[in-house]
Structure 1
């Protein structure tokens, strides 16, 4: 599918180091991606002050907004109290067709709520999910995990919908011809797991639209044997944060251990290209954030600590999803799916 010019609305006020890091990321993306127009949404004076620090930066459009959703605020209430907050304005740009995607490193709950309120769910999808790309032990392959934070509790049919959406994303965006789908569980046998996992396994086996290959244990997540793995957002978020921490620790340990002694310093110099490739494979910033699948618009939710490099990669990911027309691909696969009757699970 050919690349088209895309307009990306960037919540300039969301993130630990906003707007400075966000503006720097916008400039980096605008410089590197010839067919992307970034729209910075937020306080015009603060944004302009950051732009002034980059005198050679390309011209970037600024759309005014008033305020932001703070991390301590309850999302729905705050969104209603602050209709002109940067995340609300960003989502409205997509709703009005003035932008093709939204990227935000702000309050993730507010970003999800704003997407649901302003854009709405795709038909046939009960719950949107955040999808994150993880590295595997194979250099040429990654694995998509969803949900990693949108839904702490899931019914089996939600996991089925995640599997369909994740499979489509893996196919059209990550380029996997027939994505192998797994269900994160405590054992590979289909008899393992709690009530939700047992029913989900049966449902996934029966779905003709996905290539379900069985349960995936924790040790299988990075094995390269699966292309998409589904789980509830509670487990997925823990997995995401743990993987990020392990990646950081591995890089730090290598930095500390390799230079020890003269031979170590020589070895470090020789291995520098390899270390750069290793960091690229395990660094979460390489992907910039997770795509919120299941809403009527492309929305990338980035980590609050995102730097300019991470923001630029989030914009790149948004552009890729727009190019592949991922929303239409998901909708075409879920439009005619009949509602599934499911067993009542304790706690629902």
Structure 2
């Protein structure tokens, strides 16, 4: 039976939303065990007595890593936190994967320092799946913040892992890989990006060259590789812009007079389709690529729905034996 260790106390809607998502997912994933780490009394009050079974368990912890905690210090001093204990279960082989909605930096530290890097991987990278305008498939972008500084060889490894993930988990036969840069030409960017371009071009990846920031949502790539500083800034910009535009559109349709409201009724179906296309919940969480087990981060504001999709994502990663194949691949390099 596959086992997912879940930090049930991380995130704004914890533990209620997490428990609801687990109860929904467990009926669809009968071969998977869900271990919830957190305050025993809170969790037992949320879980119906008849649901506690070999497939769903609670591991009592007494501490929580807060969003404002300094990541490395937190995992060292809050040994009995829900996140650290869940990571220890993965390290000790008692669970196959770790999921959290909590402090991103602390989760990255748990992945790197407790669960550990895959031998041959220089730096793990954080990778979400983001929407595009002409497809429901989206694209993967890595790194989006696990590393403040990057080297060309890091970008190559991230691209290799992300491409394999896109093939195995998203079922894209020959993922198109592109390098985020400030121009399409091969000599654009600083030394890191110019050298990364050469490494990617000489690899066996389906590398299509550079992609600029204004093209990210056009569906030109299945995998976009970038340095962690730029990736984090771009990710936050995409999230913020999407939220503002949807808010402005809704406000305009509801507060611009009767004729506009009637027009909104006529295009209601199209607007629903637009909302669905940019619904990031269905893509699951961001994956920390390059560590010895699946470690996945879901947005801290998530409700039941994105957590449910992330549980299915994690389960598929375990079932596909993704990390073991990474381990075999990079150990030979």
**TM-score normalised over the length of structure 2:** 0.91
Picking from 202, 209, 222, the partner of 1:206 is 202
Picking from 214, 220, 244, the partner of 1:219 is 214
Following superposition, the deviation at residue 194 of structure 1 comes to 0.9
**Structure 1 residues 178-327: aligned runs within 5 Å:** 178-208=174-204, 210-259=205-254, 264-327=260-323
Following superposition, the deviation at residue 289 of structure 1 comes to 1.8
Structure 2: how far apart are the matches of 1:322 and 1:268? 44
Moved more, 94-103 or 287-296: 94-103
Q: Which runs of at least 4 in structure 1 moved beyond 6 Å after TM superposition?
A: 55-58
Q: Which consecutive residues of structure 2, in runs of 5 or more, have no partner in the other structure?
A: none
Moved more, 154-163 or 263-272: 263-272
Q: Is 2:117 the counterpart of 1:121?
A: yes
After superposition, the C-alpha distances for 1:251-279 in whole angstroms (9 at most, x for unaligned) are 32333334555555455445444433322
Equivalent residue pairs, number: 330
Contact 1:248 1:283 in 2 (8 A): no
Structure 2: how far apart are the matches of 1:34 and 1:265? 46
Contact 2:131 2:280 in 1 (8 A): no
Q: Is 2:14 the counterpart of 1:18?
A: yes
- Tell me what 2:129 maps to: 133
Structure 2: how far apart are the matches of 1:50 and 1:279? 31
SS of 2:233's partner is: helix
Picking from 30, 41, 44, the partner of 1:45 is 41
- What is the RMSD computed on CA atoms of the aligned residues? 2.2
SS of 2:217's partner is: coil
- Tell me what 1:71 maps to: 67
Contact 2:159 2:223 in 1 (8 A): yes
Quick check: which one's helix share is greater? 2
Following superposition, the deviation at residue 128 of structure 1 comes to 0.6
Following superposition, the deviation at residue 58 of structure 1 comes to 7.2
After superposition, the C-alpha distances for 1:7-37 in whole angstroms (9 at most, x for unaligned) are 2211011112322222233223234544433
SS of 1:73's partner is: coil
Contact 1:183 1:230 in 2 (8 A): yes
Structure 1: how far apart are the matches of 2:328 and 2:268? 46
Structure 1: how far apart are the matches of 2:272 and 2:57? 34
Contact 2:136 2:277 in 1 (8 A): no
Picking from 135, 155, 162, the partner of 2:158 is 162
Contact 2:129 2:138 in 1 (8 A): yes
SS of 2:134's partner is: coil
After superposition, the C-alpha distances for 1:23-66 in whole angstroms (9 at most, x for unaligned) are 233223234544433211111012223336xx886763111122
Following superposition, the deviation at residue 286 of structure 1 comes to 2.5
Contact 1:106 1:304 in 2 (8 A): yes
Following superposition, the deviation at residue 67 of structure 1 comes to 0.4
Q: Which consecutive residues of structure 1, in runs of 5 or more, have no partner in the other structure?
A: 338-348
- Tell me what 1:340 maps to: none
After superposition, the C-alpha distances for 1:154-176 in whole angstroms (9 at most, x for unaligned) are 01111111111111111111111
